[in-house]
Amino acid sequence: MTDGTKKPEELLKLDYTPPKKGWMETPVDFKKGTYCYSAPQKHQEYLGLPYPRQWQPFDKDWKLPENWKQIILDGMSDRLNKYRSFRLYMDICVRCGACADKCHFFIGTGDPKNMPVLRAELLRSVYRKYFTLGGKLFGKMGGARELTEDVLKEWFYYFYQCTECRRCSVFCPYGIDTCEITMMARDLLSLVGLNVGWVVEPVSNCFRTGNHLGIPPHAFKDTLDFAIDEVADLTGIKVDASINRKGAELLFITPSADYFASPHWYTFLGYLMLFHEIGLDYTWSAYASEGGNFGLFHSAEMMKRLNAKMYAEAKRLGVKWILGGECGHMWRVVHQYMNTANGPADFLEEPVSPITGTKFDNAKATKMVHICEFTSDLIKNNKLKLDPSRNDHWKMTFHDSCNPARAMGLLEEPRYIIKHVCNNFYEMPENTIREYTFCCGSGAGLGSDENIEMRLRGGLPRANAVKFVKEKHGVNLLTCICAIDRAVLPTLLQYWVPGVEVSGLHELVGNALLMKGEKERETDMRGTPFKQKES
């Protein structure tokens, strides 16, 4: 937690009444703690981004290229012709307001420009001015306004204050998806060299080294060896794991945070234990060592550039299909974009579980299976020996991550696993789970330290629901299947609901898993003693 952060009581003093002055007349105010810094120039240059330069949002002069306005307008025109979603969502909103109080940033800030409808109007007003007759004729009366530098700054502020979680789109009668609009806006901003560091730096790292954290292959090898040792200490079993091994049956890809951050680490150990136990013939890759894809938070092109490695590596290694780990936006890319952007994967086989023989028909074209689909199938077919009581020291709840929930529908698979690996599971209130789940508030590249106040605000609805189950059932663990969640929720929960830890799902699988020939385990992976069985 950064010092000088406001107390929860202060942050909760929220007023949802909008100001008297109209939104078009209210310029953006870059308050410390509520926005992300720009990207270091070297990373912009490495990726070949347009107009690389040093600038910061708090600078008065953003050093925009001279013809920035034309670049943006041309870019808009281009994207209006490329994306039906964009053109349609610019035209059909009726401003019914159903989305207004569905956004975690609006709930946590009360800032009217965080109502999804108004966030979109920031862009729509410019669309009307330059691309519609009504806007040209009636100007402000027709909801249109000039594109000025202030408008551009406002875009930067508010489109990097949207986590592309798609919750508003569930409630919209026309399915208008602010995520689509935010993606377009960020893409446009990038055309004139406006990017945030927390997106561009990981992207640049990932492009070069293969993962967001910038871990080179030898360090990846070291960390894997370290993990193998740790599993051996815990279970007495030396697990098999290989990197870049040709001829393996499967390639396993997970977010790099899983093997370098905490509490992700325990999920990493869980994977190693599970794969060893079932005798899976699989390999890790140091070249495609990232499941996540921060390119998605930049532009469709950048998403494609990073994602290309998955298929390329699967082809090079000659595996049959790809298994993917726990991650949110990674699965947005894999599920909805990968095969279109980088397919067809005709060099891979339709996925079949080598352990159970189950055909994953739902992934027969993309040829990549979610670990929760894979593990729930193992459990269903009685391939795992599990002792859920080894997770009895946890009273847990499950946080549906935005993308698996609203861009995939992976809801029951993780719950099925949970019910088999632990005994104390409590759901959060209905309006905050499954397709109604609330974002962690730090997704889509907003998880930087300098943005902490906004993240805490955005995380309020999620944390509030956790608080509810904590008070009602004594919940002390939130488990989730997203690496960004695991990175940011510990901070947010420590702030809003102290006493609730965060874990990945396969950490709990690892705890419960009875491995052949394992020594008597006394603690879980974190070193916490198992709860004594009442006899």
Instruction: Tell me which stretch binds another protein (CB under 8 A): 7-15, 473-481, 507-515, 522-530.
Output: 7-15
Instruction: State the Cα–Cα distance between residues 166 and 440, nearest whole angstrom.
Output: 13
Where in 339-398 is the site for another protein (CB under 8 A)?
A: 339-341, 343-344, 358, 360-366, 368, 373, 376-377, 380
- Report the helix count and the strand count for the chain, using DSSP H and E: 23, 7
Span near another protein by CB under 8 A; candidates 69-77, 298-306, 502-510, 517-525: 298-306
Among 28, 73, 117, 475, binds another protein (CB under 8 A): 117
- In the region spanning residues 477 to 516, those forming contacts with another protein, defined by CB under 8 A, are none
- Please identify, among the stretches 257-265, 387-395, 424-432, 521-529, the one whose residues bind another protein according to the rule CB under 8 A: 424-432
Residue owning tokens 């406002």: 154
| 18 prior amide bond cis, ω within 30 | no
The least distance separating another protein from the CB of residue 106, rounded to whole angstroms, comes to 9
Residues in 243-282 that interact with another protein by CB under 8 A: 243-246
* Coil vs helix vs strand at 113: helix
Q: Does residue 455 sit in helix, strand or coil? A: helix
Q: Which member of 75, 112, 214, 490 binds another protein (CB under 8 A)?
A: 112
Residue 80 contacts another protein per CB under 8 A: yes
Give the orientation angle of helix 505-512 with respect to helix 264-277, to 10 degrees: 50
- Within residues 118-137, the interface with another protein by CB under 8 A covers 118, 121, 132-134
Q: Which is nearer to another protein, 82 or 238 (CB)?
A: 82
Indicate the SS3 state at residue 195: coil
Q: One symbol per residue from 173 to 212: x for binding another protein (CB under 8 A), - otherwise; what is it?
A: xxxxx--x--------------------------xxxx--
Choice from 276, 298, 305, 486 touching another protein (CB under 8 A): 305
When the beta carbons of 466 and 483 are compared against another protein, the nearer one is 466
- Cα–Cα distance between 257 and 277 in angstroms, integer? 23
Instruction: Give whichever of 44 and 511 is closer to another protein, judged by the CB atom.
Output: 44
Q: Sort residue 426 into left (φ over 0), alpha (ψ -120 to 50) or beta.
A: beta
Distances from the Cα of 481 to the Cα of 10, 223, 224, 436, 510, angstroms: 31, 21, 21, 16, 14
The reply on whether position 96 binds another protein by CB under 8 A is yes
Integer angstrom CA distances of residue 380 from 13, 200, 203, 321, 328: 48, 41, 38, 21, 24
Which segment (94-102, 153-161, 263-271, 473-481) binds another protein by CB under 8 A?
Answer: 94-102
Distance from C-alpha of 247 to C-alpha of 273, rounded to nearest angstrom:
21
Does position 216 interact with another protein (CB under 8 A)? The reply is: yes
The set of residues, in sequence order, having a beta carbon less than 8 Å from that of 225 and lying 6+ positions away, is: none
In sequence order, which residues have a C-beta less than 8 Å from that of residue 235 and are 6 or more positions away? 273, 515, 518, 519, 521
Q: What three-state secondary structure class fits 515?
A: coil
229 binds another protein (CB under 8 A): no
Residues 36-75, mask of contacts with another protein (x by CB under 8 A): ------------x---------------------------
Quick one: which of 43, 62, 73, 102 contacts another protein (CB under 8 A)? 102
